[in-house]
Structure 1
Amino acid sequence: MSYEAIRKATGASIKQIQYALTTPLTPRTDRRGRKPSQFTDEEKHRIARAFSDDPIARKLKWEDLRWYLEGFDRFKDQAFITAMRDAGYQRKVLPRRIKLTPAHMQARLAFAREQLALRPRPEDWEKVAFSDETWATNSHMWKRWLTVHEVEDIEAWASIRQKPHGWMFWAIICGAVKAGSFVWEKEYGGINSEKYQRYIVPIDYQFIMEKREQGTPVVFQHDNASSHVSNATRAYMTGLGIEQLTWPANSPDLNPIENVWFWMKNWIELNYDVEALSKTALRRAILAAWEAVPRDWLLQLAHSMPGRLQKIIDAEGKLIPY
């Protein structure tokens, strides 16, 4: 029978049918050979129905999901987590929807080849200052975790992404150095070329001049946001003597500071009750997380660049894990 025929005969949704037909019938065992906690067939159908009909259910951590769904209080937290995994579910970070055109991939490939020839050694990348900004909110969803079944495609849920509200945090890393940081104040409004030059570029300039006085020239990296690559910004930074690294579009996988954002957000969630943070407390938590970032790890991130570039080449310009 087709899925549609089964749906008409049973009244179940297509997702429930797909789940029922792809879930193993025999219990799985853990590494010690013990049977983990199991859902009954009725409980499996209820969970699948909740994920099909209620988007909130997919967003909740499993420790909270067992209280959100009525009738699962017979499980303790770890037993419920084990049962969810045994049923084929996973918690995944919802990916950014990054679309690469053939032109994007060719530009990324050319950049990787050029830079790997120019800076082939890990230590060569200690002289590149990487910058970026991130949004941080008082919600666990700032990383956009979702529950998906092993037969589902995480990309199919990209439409659930929500623009977060909180603080925009900007920073520079260079080798093992935290080269500068900035919290974008609410009264500044949206960012544009003029504001980028007024608030951010002076931090770049101060660090780069200090390194130059020490005899270490530094190249500055930022992505292709309009405020970064406008003619006015480029001319202004060139006039200040700041050498800028031309960056390929849609390439967060190449920027090691993206790893720093994930580290900081995990650190805050481990050390604070995120959802209870006021805006002021959240700001303090962001700065504390930045201060806690290990400097030796920053150096490892800088040294990872030749490997990242080689992966881009091997992938023919496609996105790589980061």
Structure 2
Amino acid sequence: MVKSREWSRKTREEVITLHRKGNGYKKIAKMLNIPRETIGSIIRKFKAKGTVEMLPGRGRKEMLTSTAVRYLKHRVDKSPCVTAEELRKDLSDVGTEVSAQTIRRTLRNEGLHDRTPRRTPLLSPKNKKSRLQYAKSHVDKPQKFWDSVLWTDETKLELFGPMDQRYVWRRKNKAYEEKNTLPPVKHGGGGSIMLWGCFASAGTGKLQRVQGTMNSLQYQEILDDNVMQSVTNLRLGRRWTFQQDNDPKHTSKSTRAWLQIKGWNILEWPSQSPDLNPIENLWWDLKKAVAVRKPKNVTELEAFAHDEWAKIPVDRCKTLVSSYASCLKAVITVKGCCTKY
């Protein structure tokens, strides 16, 4: 049933005024451009109730008591993964029969929405302690220090990955028509590539494709080919700092010895902390930009990646690094747990 329109108080009062002056329903309806049935309803209500105000009791009755709503809020606060069906059964056990849809609607009205949970690293108590110590020991570093850090990391770029979700408009039972399918990956080598990249507050540095499975030796070669050139291009100066995570090939005995010979200042790094590396945000930007261009093969995938990496605005890099202190404060606030960064 379609809900009838609610007329304003001023309009309803005008109807009563015209009626008191002796005007009939039909004439009032024509004067105010309101349906005759509505005129009659307003006048009958006034005669019966003596008012044109909206009276209480209108609308659909609430199906859940305030106590039931409080229970639902408490339950999902303690167990966010509980389903609407499980909540329905809980209420049914105490004599309250409602649908799962009613429970979903009630929770949405209370500001609680069902969402896909964010993927975060599994943090042990040791990991949390290490992250918290890192944040506390670095939160007071001046911005000048963070501006001189060269942030590095590796990422996997897929030809038809989750960032490149594609859809087709098709009729029922037409899924396998050639125009409604995606062609196989050509020259794909698995349909993905691994990239090593770096950036600083001053912009993006070098980006290099990793051939095959990277080991400690190949990692050292990549650093040798790209790091100092990036430091020079980004004008980080003599007192710059090198950042890397705790991947085994980064912390192997041979890599540690190689880095010691280089004499680079290495930023200590807590394990399981991708949210503390701002380059993760740039990887996200890169994958979205490459997906928009819809590469057809791995050769295009790599070419587009280099092209889009070079296009990332300096302001984007600068903003990520300038907000790093806020990231560390967030880690301290949540006592070492994961953050939105």
TM-score (norm 1): 0.61
Give, in whole Å, the separation in 1 of the partners of 2:275 and 2:194.
Answer: 20
Task: State the partner residue of 1:23.
Answer: 101
Deviations 1:51-89 (A, max 9, x none): xxxxxxxxxxxxxxxxxxxxxxxxxxxxxxxxxxxxx77
Deviation at 1:294, TM superposition (A): 1.0
5+ residue gaps, structure 2, are: 1-81, 89-97, 107-112, 167-189
- Output the CA distance in 2 between the equivalents of 1:280 and 1:222: 28
Give the deviation of 1:200 after TM superposition: 2.8
Deviation of 1:266 after TM superposition, in Å, equals: 1.5
Is contact 2:132-2:332 (8 Å) kept? yes
The aligned runs of 1:65-214 (5 Å cut-off) are 92=116, 95-117=118-140, 119=141, 121-141=142-162, 165-185=191-211, 189-208=212-231
Distance apart, 1:95 and its partner CA? 4.2
CA displacement at 1:142 relative to structure 2: 5.1
How far 1:210 sits from its partner (Å)?
Answer: 6.8
Of the three residues 299, 306, 312, the one matched with 1:280 is 299
In the alignment of these two chains, the number of paired residues is: 221
1:227 pairs with 2:249? yes
Q: C-alpha distance in 2, partners of 1:172/1:294?
A: 14
Whether the 8 Å contact between 1:127 and 1:216 is mirrored in structure 2 is no
Deviations 1:163-189 (A, max 9, x none): x8501111111112212211113xxx2
Q: Any stretches of 5+ residues in structure 1 without a counterpart?
A: 1-13, 29-87, 146-163
Q: 1:171 to 1:22 in 2, by over 3 A?
A: same
Q: Is the 8 A contact 1:205 1:242 kept in 2?
A: no
**Pairing 1:250–2:328 present:** no
Where does residue 333 of structure 2 map in the other structure?
314
Q: Is the 8 A contact 2:150 2:198 kept in 1?
A: yes
Map of 1:161 onto structure 2:
none
> 1:36 corresponds to which residue?
none
1:217 partnered with 2:239: yes
Distance change (3 Å), C-alpha of 1:209 and 1:242:
farther
Distance 1:303 1:138 in 2: 32
* 1:180-209 per-position Cα deviation (integer Å, ceiling 9, x unaligned): 211113xxx211111111223331133346
- Contact preservation (8 Å) 2:152, 2:244: yes
2:149 touches 2:242 (CA, 8 Å); kept in 1? yes
Identity of matched residues, %:
26
Structure 2 residue matching 1:23: 3-state secondary structure: helix
| Separation in structure 2 between the aligned mates of residue 246 and residue 258 of structure 1, nearest angstrom | 18
Please name the residue that 1:46 is paired with: none
Structure 2 counterpart of 1:191, which letter? M
Describe the SS at the equivalent of 1:172: strand
Q: Secondary structure in 2 aligned to 1:169?
A: strand
Distance 1:107 1:260, change over 3 A: same
Give the C-alpha shift of residue 108 in structure 1: 0.6
Contact 1:267 1:289 in 2 (8 A): yes
Show the counterpart of 1:260: 282
The answer to whether the 8 Å contact 2:206/2:226 transfers is yes
8 Å contact from structure 1 (residues 312, 319) kept in 2: yes
Larger radius of gyration: 2
CA contact (8 A) 2:84 2:104 kept: no
Partners of 1:116 and 1:143 in 2: CA distance:
37
User: Whole-Å Cα distance in 1 between the matches of residues 84 and 266 of structure 2?
Assistant: 53
